[in-house]
Amino acid sequence: MHRLSVKTWSTPVTDETSRPIPCALCGGTRFTLQLSCEGFSYMRCTGCGLVQMNPQPVITEVAGRYREGHGDEYLSYELANEKSFLHLQELALKDVGFAVLEGPLRAKGTPTILDIGCATGALLERFRERGWHALGVEICTPSAEYARQVRNLDVRTLPLIENHFPPAAFDVVLASHLIEHLNDPAAFVQEVHRILRPGGHFLVTTPNIAGFQARLFKSRWRSAIFDHLYLFSIKTLSQLLTQRGFTIAKTRTWGGLAAGTAPSCIKRLADRAAKKFGFGDVMLIHGLKGPFSGKAS
């Protein structure tokens, strides 16, 4: 069983400054232990169920990992997996019917897309090829530099909020395997809401703590890694989005068993079942920007 749960690459556990945090979703301060990993723990909020690393490394330490700390290793990891990550992202977009959204957006002129955590910019390049105005945010400086030099893309290295994009600037915002790395996902979602035009699309992909593999492997689950500060479920992530003014248009999960862990016929069956019943290993939520009162409920 152990060898079946190879963890996703992460920066190694170090003795960064950490502190206890209130729940990022409901502000609660009562938790139960969810997963105990080597050097860190995930706690479940008794109020809303959000699973969060707690105590949590502070934001300056976390940001440093992707820059001077381990930026080059991140770039190597992204480059080594670039083709498969692009393929998965395109499959996910296809699966939520993105092509149907794209038609009306393109009919109105040049649609705008922001890919937050765009890594080497492979997906952004595809959008640009299809006539989109494509912009990226990537705080991993070597990856951002690669996207600029090799793909000639406009990629910003400041965290989203520090870019001060104008309000209602984008038709679509993507965040793939990004939100779980952030110290303050609520502030992030609020900023995405501000920079999307009314009715704009937010597509957020992240590991699913309520999936089959998470339940099976527990602390050995491949996504229970030091770089993941939050482990969302469809329920907790939907709540975070609706709290900040989004309407949930669609949710999807994928992946029953990791590649190489079972004969391909078994894996196919497991993958199909996971997708159908919503217990896949990775999930995508498609949110639409609705009105936000300015105060999270």
d(CA 252, CA 160): 25
Give me the residues paired with residue 36 across strands.
Answer: 41
CB of 238 to Zn ion, least distance (A): 14
CB of 50 to Zn ion, least distance (A): 5
Cis amide bond preceding 104, omega within 30: no
Question: Which is closer to Zn ion, CB of 23 or CB of 192?
Answer: 23
d(CA 290, CA 260): 42
CB of 183 to Zn ion, least distance (A): 15
CB of 296 to Zn ion, least distance (A): 12
Question: Which is closer to Zn ion, CB of 118 or CB of 229?
Answer: 229
d(CA 234, CA 225): 19
Place of tokens 């482990």: 231
* β-pairing verdict for 18-19 and 56-57: antiparallel
Which residues in this chain contact Zn ion in the complex, by CB under 5 A?
Answer: 23, 25-26, 28, 45, 47-48, 50
CB of 239 to Zn ion, least distance (A): 9
Are 297 and 243 a contacting pair, CB within 8 Å? yes
Question: Which is closer to Zn ion, CB of 48 or CB of 249?
Answer: 48
Question: Which is closer to Zn ion, CB of 50 or CB of 137?
Answer: 50
Name the residue among 217, 249, 245 with its Cα closest to residue 231: 217
Give me the residues paired with residue 114 across strands.
Answer: 135, 173
Question: Which is closer to Zn ion, CB of 51 or CB of 101?
Answer: 51
